[in-house]
Chains A and B, each alone.
Chain A
Amino acid sequence: MSEIWSYLSRGELVWLTATLMAYLCGDWAFRASGRSPLVNPVLVAVLILSGVLMVTGTSYPTYFEGAQFVHFMLGPATVALALPLWAHHGRVARVLVPMGAALLVGSVVAMGSALALGWALGLPMDVLVSLAPKSATAPVAIGITEELGGLPNLTAVLVILTGIIGAIIVTPLLNGLGFTDYRARGFAVGVAAHGIGTARAFQVNEVAGTFSGIGMGLNAVLTAVLAPVVVRLFL
């Protein structure tokens, strides 16, 4: 038995299957909760897998050998956002000015407030640098951190946590403040919380999801341009 396990746990099949199963559990929990934003499918799946990796003493690189096939699909999924964007292009074209302004404000607030608060709380320099691009989508944020001399692995985690937090808080937060425009709601969560925010927005409404996808794409670009400037200003 332990021989079979030691063979399998080094292979890709186990960790690919585990990733999909953990996601199914997360998705089931989300539905069972009556689609509560608090029961975020990514969060549930990550908690399950982290527990399994720690209990079995499996390293993250070993796990990722199998999970990379899922991770790879982030690229094609980003390209796929072209379809909802095309389907709603009329709506999008009418709000180019609000989008541009909200992008700039959202992106600068995301980076600036994180650096200011992190500095005030005494976080070390390399952690602060890794924190700066947290609102951009994972592959872009990791590239930015590498360029600025941060910790790429830490950035990946901070990006995902930002996405989960954004997806959890966006609905109660914006309901509480009385925002009813689904374009504004979706776009803002896409800028602040990238693809996980976008996944949440699609759970709520297709218009919100579409604008969230645009926000995510635009902020990936803007963060790449602004992060070096903002980091140099602060640190």
Chain B
Amino acid sequence: MIGSIVILLSFQLAGEVIARGFGLPIPGPVIGLVLLVAALWLRPALEDTMRPLTSTLLGHLSLLFVPAGTGIVGNLDTVRDSGLALLVVLVVSTALAIVAGAWVFAVLARRFAPEDGR
């Protein structure tokens, strides 16, 4: 378990170093993700080692957004002034983005790999 934590943190660290070092607009953890995929390709045995930790972490991904979400108590002025308008904007634009993205993907995927989607 500790070994898996060290691996995750090390790849995140490497990602941060690369992102800062090259001034990339890509977040460090995303670069870390790509590097870890490369490492899994080189050493597939890593998958079994890390599964227990990553399954737990991803199984409770929701938890990790709670602290940032609670920041709403620090923004009550904005909520009071423009809360309803903001809610309308967020609901409509998120719905549009989901439908547009899913539609483009589904239409094109039917041509490339129709059997994989179920």
| B-binding residues in A (CB < 8 A) | 19-20, 22-23, 26-27, 40-43, 45-46, 49-50, 53-54, 59-61, 63-64, 67-68, 70-71, 73-87, 89, 91, 94-95, 97-99, 101-103, 105-107, 109-110, 113-114, 117-118, 121-124, 127, 131, 134-135, 137-140, 143, 151, 153-154, 156-166, 169-170, 173-174, 177, 179-185, 187-189, 191-193, 195-196, 198-199, 202, 207, 209, 215, 217, 220-221, 224-225
Contact = CB atoms under 8 A, between A and B. Distances in A.
Contacts of B102: 102, 174, 177, 179, 181, 184-185, 187-188
A184 B99 contact: no
Given A79-B15, A181-B117, A99 B105 contact: yes
B53 interface: yes
B112 A95 contact: yes
28 contacts: A41-B63, A42-B62, A71-B68, A74-B64, A77-B64, A78-B33, A80-B53, A83-B58, A84-B54, A84-B58, A85-B37, A86-B41, A97-B108, A99-B105, A101-B108, A123-B89, A143-B27, A157-B68, A161-B86, A174-B102, A181-B109, A182-B117, A183-B109, A184-B105, A187-B102, A188-B97, A188-B98, A188-B105
A103 B104 CA distance: 9
B90 interface: yes
Given A70-B66, A157-B68, A184-B109, 12 more contacts: A27-B62, A46-B70, A76-B12, A95-B113, A106-B100, A113-B97, A121-B89, A161-B86, A166-B94, A180-B117, A192-B94, A198-B61
Nearest to B59: A202
Given A54-B73, A187-B101, A64 B25 contact: no
Contact of B30 (A63, A78, A134, A215): A78
B117 A123 contact: no
Contact of A106 (B73, B75, B101): B101
A110 B99 CA distance: 10
Given A73-B64, A114-B89, A117-B89, A182 B99 contact: no
B78 to A, nearest CB: 6
Interface residue SS majority, chain A: helix
B9 interface: yes
A19 B67 contact: yes
Interface residues of B, number: 75
Given A78-B32, A109-B101, A49 B70 contact: yes
Interface in B1-52: 5, 8-9, 11-12, 15, 25-30, 32-34, 36-37, 40-41, 47, 50-51
B105 to A, nearest CB: 4
B16 to A, nearest CB: 8
A121 B92 CA distance: 13
Contact of A75 (B12, B53, B98): B12
A134 B92 CA distance: 13
Cβ-closest 4 pairs across A and B: A106-B101, A181-B117, A188-B101, A67-B67
Contacts of B11: 79, 82
A79 B8 contact: yes
Given A121-B85, A180-B118, A82 B57 contact: no
A46 B58 contact: no
